A and B are shown apart, each in its own frame.
Chain A
Amino acid sequence: MMEKMSEENMEEVTVLEAQIELLQAEVLALRRQQKDDLKDITFDFRGQMQDAMSCMCGQRRGDEKEMVLSRLKEVVEELEEDLKLQTQRNGISLNSCTTKTLQSSGGKLVQQLCISGHCSELVFQVEFQLSEVKEGSGCERTISDLNVVMDASDLQNFSSFLSGVEESRDLLLFFRTLRTFSDRCDDRRRTFQHFQVSEDTPAPKWTPPQTPALH
């Protein structure tokens, strides 16, 4: 009877070992997929975001969820305030920033960024590669492959500036110049409006010279 039982056990062991192998392969594949998924978008899963993530994956109880919800709301509202401040102080409104991670190994991180927004009436979109390489205690950041697109309607003189900026990869110069140019456009518009004849002022009429009555 002992022999019969150990045979059964051996069968069970084999079945279990096979199951483990399958599961391990599945977990490996899922991990790879997750890594790939995270390349298209940057998720900072620390602090409140990590708690929120565990909630979404069913790891937290209902009452804990409420707390995570309210804490995350606070954090998001702080970030909103911060963004308002930066927008106001930088004089630039950003609509979107998408990040794709192209390489993340050793001490090197290469990302493709696409940023769009407007500066007063001027709409822009910039796309570039940003490399961050750890060097000693610091980090060297470099921009390459800069591409700048602007709503070209009234910006003929800008096009040569834009190609110059793309060639020298001077992203910061682009935004400094954009702001200055936009400030001047705003000044000009305000000056125009100041001197503009209002709609209430009657338009001068041209009256033809009176012909003398013929008697």
Chain B
Amino acid sequence: MEGASTKGVLSHLSLLEVQARSRKTQPQQPSRVKELKAKVEALLTQRDQLRAEIETHKNLKKLRASMDKWCTHEEEEEEEEEEEEEEEEEEEMDEDSENSKLLRLMARHTRLKDLLHAHHVIGGYNVIKTRQGKGMCVSLATAYEGVYLETYNLEIDLKPTVRISRHDVPPFIPLKNLAEQSSVQTDIRTLLDPLSRDLNAFAGRKQQLKLVKELHKSVEVMESNVLCSLLVLMFTVPKEKTLVLCSLDYTDRTRCLPTRVHFKCDDKELPDSPEWKKHRSLLMETPVHKALITMRKMGNIV
């Protein structure tokens, strides 16, 4: 009897031993599965993040659209003040109202950024206050025919008196005269507006000269000056190869069009011919690079 029970116990023990050993050597989940599970987790996080972002964008757009529609700045500020007063009364803010406050601020942020960009794009003066309000920086943008050109800058002292301290306006623009003629002490725009007009007219004339050189290689530029207030061109009449000297005077520096157009030619009758009289009016009323296109189409210049 002892033998039988011992055998039973022993064999039971050895069975347990085998099981224990086999559990130890049982392989863990292969690393491949572990790797893939991690990847799935990562992708799930990415997806949820993207979904949350898209939802937030959607809500931001809605909020922003209603702000654009209904709010002027004054109204917006009043609304914000009202909201703040209400919140000061509440001791705790729950997560929902925190989120909605955050969303509102984000929508205001995008709206303000867009409005500031708009001021810049429409040619605003990009005013920056410096030295705790004692100074100011101003930019004057120029553009011609939809192309933005040079920007000029002024550094202005505001105290004790309004005075231009530094600038990069070219010397042939009468900045000092314009300042003297303006009421710059009380309203700086009385200087900036005329200055901007002059700079834009100059930029326009300069750009026209550039376009003449680029688009009309058969027309020779004989003379021009830095202010671009004088332009002398040489035309070649196709058939007879006659040369016509054309001088354009831009004596009104606030304008992009000439005040006087004059033709000179060996053939004394040419300038008074009806075609060339038309050309004179054309050059007085149309930017020169465009006028030349018409003149070439009419077959009067090469």
Chain A residues packing against B (C-beta within 8 Å): 2, 5-6, 9, 12-13, 16-17, 19-20, 23-24, 26-27, 30-31, 33-34, 37-38, 40-44, 48-49, 52-53, 55-59, 62, 65-66, 68-69, 72-73, 75-76, 79-80, 82-87, 89-99, 113, 115, 126, 130, 140-144, 146, 168-173, 175-176, 179-180
Contact = CB atoms under 8 A, between A and B. Distances in A.
B289 interface: no
Given A13-B33, A85-B127, A113-B118, A72 B109 contact: yes
Contact of A92 (B73, B112, B122): B122
Q: Which 10 pairs show the lowest CB-CB distances between chains A and B?
A: A169-B146, A172-B123, A57-B52, A97-B118, A23-B43, A16-B36, A79-B112, A143-B146, A96-B68, A30-B50
Contacts of A86: 116, 119, 124-127
Given A9-B33, A89-B188, A176-B193, 11 more contacts: A19-B40, A23-B44, A37-B61, A49-B109, A89-B189, A97-B118, A142-B146, A146-B146, A172-B123, A172-B141, A173-B200
Contacts of B32: 9, 13
A41 B61 CA distance: 7
Given A24-B43, A86-B124, A180-B193, A170 B144 contact: yes
B117 A97 contact: yes
Contact of A33 (B54, B61, B64, B114): B54
B121 A94 contact: no
Contacts of A80: 73, 77, 112
A40 B122 CA distance: 21
Given A30-B54, A92-B119, A5 B27 contact: yes
B134 interface: no
A24 B58 CA distance: 23
B106 A52 contact: yes
B108 interface: yes
B145 interface: yes
Contacts of B27: 2, 5
B122 A44 contact: no
21 contacts: A5-B26, A12-B33, A13-B33, A16-B37, A20-B39, A48-B109, A56-B99, A56-B102, A58-B52, A86-B116, A86-B127, A89-B189, A94-B118, A115-B118, A142-B148, A144-B146, A170-B145, A171-B122, A172-B143, A176-B200, A180-B193
A59 B147 CA distance: 44
A46 B101 CA distance: 19
B229 interface: no
B143 A75 contact: no
A210 B77 CA distance: 65
Contacts of B68: 95-96, 98
B294 to A, nearest CB: 15
Contacts of B61: 37, 40-41
A174 to B, nearest CB: 8
Contacts of B39: 16, 20
B154 interface: no
B88 interface: no
A65 B98 contact: yes
B181 interface: no
A16 B118 contact: no
B241 interface: no
A91 to B, nearest CB: 6
A90 B124 contact: yes
Contacts of B72: 93, 95
Given A20-B36, A34-B57, A41-B64, A142 B147 contact: yes
A169 B126 CA distance: 21
A171 B123 CA distance: 8
B36 A175 contact: no
A52 B107 CA distance: 11
Interface string B132-169: 00000010011111111000000000000000000000
Q: Which of B73, B114, B193 has the most CB of A within 10 A?
A: B114
B103 interface: yes
Contacts of B73: 80, 83-84, 87
A57 B123 contact: no
Contacts of B126: 86
Contacts of B141: 172
B60 interface: yes
Contacts of A140: 147-148
Given A20-B36, A72-B106, A90-B125, A9 B30 contact: yes
B51 interface: yes
